[in-house]
Amino acid sequence: MKDEDIADKVRRLYEKLGSIRAVGRALDLAPSSVHYHLNKKKDRTLLDAPAPKPKARRKVDIKREGDSAIVTGRGIRTLEDLLDAANLDRSWVCFKHHLNAWQALAKDSEIVQLHQVKAYLERAPDFFIDPIQPLKQYRRTPLSVKPTNKSALIIPDSQHGFRRIEDPSAENGYRWEPLHDRAAIDCVLQIADMMGPELDTIVLLGDMLDLAPWSTRWTTDPSLRFTTNYSCRELYAGLLLPLREICPHAEIILLEGNHELRINKAILEKLDEAHGLRSADTLSGNEILSVQSILALDSLDIKYVGPYGAAFWLYDEIRIQHGSKARPAGETASAYLRSATSSRIWGHVHRLEMAQKKIQTKDGPKLITAASPGCLCRTDGGVPHAGGDFLDWQQGVGIVYSSGDRVSVQLVPIEDGVAIFNGYTIRGDGSVETTTRRTGLKF
């Protein structure tokens, strides 16, 4: 082809594309050659013309590799616009993005503002996206006639949570392995049922959610990620909701433990603007990203007592807290008794202990009790924990009776999904079928 012909072609294309680089790409010429041909034609009007402005040229580039993708958008200013332009389905979740803006000198010596947004996405699994059906709203209905004796159920750390273990033979390609012990939890529901309408107070001691993926202190094993919805749903539908149905009259308290605190800590450390965020219609009510909200505690008329460390006084006698002491077997109770001026019950340590002490008061000697009902999580090492591979943890549940001016604390041990209560042997149902029926989730 003659030089003249090339110059014509370059010129025509330049009029169309308005970019030296684009013309170069189309004709397989270096940008300098394109420039040369345009100049050679002596058609300065083209090069000097202010016309081909780098108008809102938007270019989106998507690089996908398996379940992750990097999307780059030129001429795009916001993440929202980029995701719009990329038109990916909603299973893609952005976990990191960069906004770039810089200025460049255009051909007409004008300064143009350029923008680029780069987003890193990963594909969230179906269970993370599929809407979960709403459940009923409950209101506690206080008993019109009060029984003479009062009784309370004290439910310790269940550490509700999951590992998703890759398993090609499983229906969705992975198995859901609970951190909580379903059979032990079912024992507690059966005991609540047996206690009948005299059961007026239920105290959940905290660490009812493990929230491992929210920890800002420990690294999260990948198998623990994307499990929060399922964990909350199973705690809600597998323990809290049945408790409310069994005990429509009871006051139900959930104390904040150090594991529930992880949500607030993560927010303050990683996204402090989300702290205290509330629905705009009232600007009151629960914070959106709080345990009260994600467990829908209001819908079950369950009272959340926080922050971590806050106490609930049972029958004006017993100070109940999640606890922070952890000593070897049998020694946490003695550590609490050393300084105690009232009876105390705590969780946190995952050991079943009870001890008593007499203290001096102005009215004479007084017997006080220190007790920890153990835990309701797995004790075989399934729960992420610090320390060695042998765990000295025990399961159980606490019961407090109040009669006249007497209070009696009792502990019921649970082992391998079996408890003995009031002379009855209770076998917990920890089956996947029952859990699916209660929660509406597939495992």
Nearest approach in angstroms of CB 311 to Mn ion is 15
Nearer to Mn ion, 230 or 346 (CB): 346
Nearest approach in angstroms of CB 259 to Mn ion is 6
- CA-nearest of 416, 383, 437 to 238 is 437
Nearer to Mn ion, 56 or 386 (CB): 386
Cβ-based neighbour number of residue 340 at 10 Å: 16
Nearest approach in angstroms of CB 323 to Mn ion is 7
Nearer to Mn ion, 279 or 324 (CB): 324
Identify the sign of the CA torsion 170, 173, 177, 183: negative
- CA-nearest of 382, 441, 442, 411 to 159 is 382
Beta bridge mates, 121: 69, 94
Nearer to Mn ion, 258 or 299 (CB): 258
C-beta of residue 317 within 8 angstroms of C-beta of residue 343 = yes
Q: Cα(295)–Cα(325) distance, rounded to whole angstroms?
A: 27
Nearest approach in angstroms of CB 348 to Mn ion is 4
Nearer to Mn ion, 178 or 257 (CB): 257
Nearer to Mn ion, 264 or 439 (CB): 264
Nearest approach in angstroms of CB 414 to Mn ion is 18
Nearer to Mn ion, 223 or 258 (CB): 258
> What letter does residue 314 receive in the DSSP assignment?
E
Nearest approach in angstroms of CB 366 to Mn ion is 29
Nearer to Mn ion, 38 or 255 (CB): 255
C-beta of residue 312 within 8 angstroms of C-beta of residue 255 = yes
| 3-class state of residue 326 by DSSP | coil
In the complex, the residues that contact Mn ion under the rule CB under 5 A are: 207, 257-258, 348
Nearer to Mn ion, 195 or 377 (CB): 377
* Cis ω before 307 (30° cut-off from 0): yes
Nearest approach in angstroms of CB 239 to Mn ion is 17
Cα angle: 175, vertex 181, 185; to 5 degrees: 130
Nearest approach in angstroms of CB 199 to Mn ion is 25
C-beta of residue 400 within 8 angstroms of C-beta of residue 407 = yes
Give the residue at shortest CB distance from Mn ion.
348
User: For residue 56, how far is the Cα from the chain centroid?
Assistant: 40
Q: Cα(406)–Cα(359) distance, rounded to whole angstroms?
A: 16
Nearest approach in angstroms of CB 156 to Mn ion is 10
Which pairs from 436-442 meet CB under 8 Å and 24+ separation? Answer: 438/237, 438/238, 438/241, 438/242, 439/233, 439/234, 439/237, 439/238, 440/132, 440/133, 440/233, 440/237, 441/127, 441/132, 441/230, 441/233, 441/234, 442/127, 442/171, 442/172
